[in-house]
Amino acid sequence: MGKSKQIDRRWLFLLIFFGVALPLIFTIGLPLETTKNVQMVYDLVDSMPKGSKALISFDYDPASMPELHPMAKALVKHCFDKDINLIFTAMWPMGVQMVDDIINQLKDDYPDLNYGEDYVNLGFKAGAMITIQSMGKNFREVFPKDMNGNSIDELPIMDGINNFSNIGFVFSLSAGAPGIKEWVQIAHDAYGRPTSGGCTGVSAPAMLPYINEQKQLTGLLAGLKAAAEYELLINTPGTATSGMDAQSIAHLIILIFIAIGNINYWRDKKAGKKGGK
């Protein structure tokens, strides 16, 4: 049987373009509901007492911004609302700029936040898993200074932080390795700290085994949908919520094309059988 005749893929590209662009301009507001993994992350943050400290690692670069930036913003906002002090770090070199960008986006909403008291950016350190392992042994040896060159001994937020013991929870926003896996294996498995994470939708299946009875991972924000769900939970619709319309329409187009592809295939197969007779 000959190869089934399929539609020129440029039509698909054109429809995907309009399917993504139009819902971003004209919001539809499709319904959204919270899933278990997102609720677990929300509950973890919500259960933290006022003044506790959390470590958020920005392990991604601009390529993953559309998916990970909205969830980073929602998570940081939730932490600031709960008066959780945030220690930012990055296992990816460009994660540092991602932290700065999130802080710049939120600084107008939180004018009273003080650098060094309410949050600190420790910056990037090469070494991936070994860096995390060393942080667990002696934080100050790995990060003697913050991103701006201040000694961390002079920063009030770092008082009592010598390893992971005084960290309420660890969160990795990850686009690959090093990322969630490395944080789980060290921060949770070796040092017993509650660990959670956010990742791109495509890498979610690799992270799901860590959500288990041992709570290696306390919930997971997977992809734009999880970011939109988190925005819904904190009552702050943002770019993820508006992006979900675009993502849903794009998926709908793909599904329609999959259906067309299958109809064409079965029609050709049937015609082939008839021709054979």
Report the interface residues with another protein, using CB under 8 A.
Answer: 4, 6-7, 9, 12-13, 16-17, 20, 30-33, 35-36, 61-66, 96-97, 100-101, 125-128, 130-131, 133-134, 137-138, 141-142, 147-149, 201, 204-206, 208-209, 223, 225, 244-245, 247-248, 250-255, 257-258, 260-262, 265
Smallest distance, another protein to C-beta of residue 49, A: 31
87: β partners: 55, 120
198: β partners: 173, 221
Nearer CB in complex with another protein: 82/125: 125
Smallest distance, another protein to C-beta of residue 17, A: 8
Phi, psi at 57, each rounded to 5°: -105, 125
Nearer CB in complex with another protein: 93/156: 93
Task: Compute and round to an integer the Cα radius of gyration of the chain.
Answer: 22
Nearer CB in complex with another protein: 151/262: 262
Non-local CB neighbours of 44 within 8 Å, separated by 6+ positions: 169, 194, 196, 218, 219
Smallest distance, another protein to C-beta of residue 46, A: 22
C-alpha 54/C-alpha 78 separation (Å) is 12
Nearer CB in complex with another protein: 234/253: 253
C-alpha 24/C-alpha 19 separation (Å) is 9
Smallest distance, another protein to C-beta of residue 37, A: 8
C-alpha 102/C-alpha 33 separation (Å) is 25
Nearer CB in complex with another protein: 166/216: 216
